[in-house]
Amino acid sequence: MEASSLPAALELVSGGGLGLSPEKRAVLSSSLLLLQRDYRFERVWFWGCIQGVRGAYYIAQGLGPDRAAPRSRLYSLNCVEWSLLPPVTKEMVTQAGQLKGRFQGDPSFEYEYTERNAEDAERLLEDGKEPMIKEEARVVATIEQIDKAVGIIPRGAFLKTPLGSVSENRNFEGLSLMEAKKLSSYFHFTEPVNLKNKTLLEKADLDPSIDFLDSLEHDIPQGSWTVQLDRGGAVVVLRSLLWLGLTFYHVPMTKQYGYVYFGTGEKNLDLPFML
């Protein structure tokens, strides 16, 4: 969610018991604006918080002119001092997928692999040391997984130019209440997968400048999203059951929308058995 509208946005998603203390909100509002100035980001989004055993990671994302380009990710342990996270790699995501259990809250904490592939076994023979992964790498890999799986935007909020860059749609005035209650009105803000598999006939009714992402209606497993109306129907709230703690809000007929994550950074692997 936008750093500039953080206090109001956090109020809109607080219905599920998520949020920050008034002190944390005040500190974050100031420090995120300083972060934007110091790193010269065009926009800064407050991504959320991953709660560890001994501390929490507060996450922010810095955006450039192309909103679909890889974002700079930063974390803070106290909402004041920020550290840049390394760029995510496929190896990080693969390694983090082998780890189970809670985060510790210490970026320098090192995990041992519970399972070793052939490459890890070969490295162990060469170096004589157990392969390790730092929690900092696990944090950035988890953020990447959550963004790809459940990072969403309303349809029409962004435009894709003929050159391929993505920017905010200045003409976007929000979804109607009827449209806001449909999963098909929300898109995954990541590289599309299902869209590439559609036939030309299925793409005929799509607007290439707006419908360039995958919608939520075909997410697997079915039923992994809940849609609710809060504040007397004035706010539409979507919550992910796959990554518990991810909450998206949109105020119909306005430009107010965003998502935030407050959780332990663990995927709900039991979801198929719960539906």
Q: What is the pLDDT of residues 226-272, one digit of tens each?
A: 999 988 888 999 999 999 999 999 999 999 999 999 999 999 988 88
Average pLDDT value for residue range 171-199:
89
Q: What is the pLDDT of residues 105-115, one digit of tens each?
A: 999 999 886 66
Q: What are phi and psi of 35, to 5 degrees?
A: -60, -45
203 burial class (0-12, 13-18, 19+ CB within 10 angstroms)? exposed
Cα torsion through 27, 263, 177, 179, rounded to 10:
130
Q: Is 232 helix (H, G, I), strand (E, B) or coil?
A: coil
In whole angstroms, what is the distance from residue 185 CA to residue 107 CA? 37
Q: What is the pTM of this model?
A: 0.88
* Res. 68: pLDDT tops 90: no
Q: Bridge-partner residues for 159, per DSSP?
A: 167
Residue 118 pLDDT class (50, 70, 90 cuts):
low
Residue 125 pLDDT class (50, 70, 90 cuts):
very low
Helices (H), the chain: 6-12, 22-39, 90-96, 118-127, 135-150, 177-180, 200-203, 271-274
Cβ atoms of residues 104 and 53 within 8 Å: yes
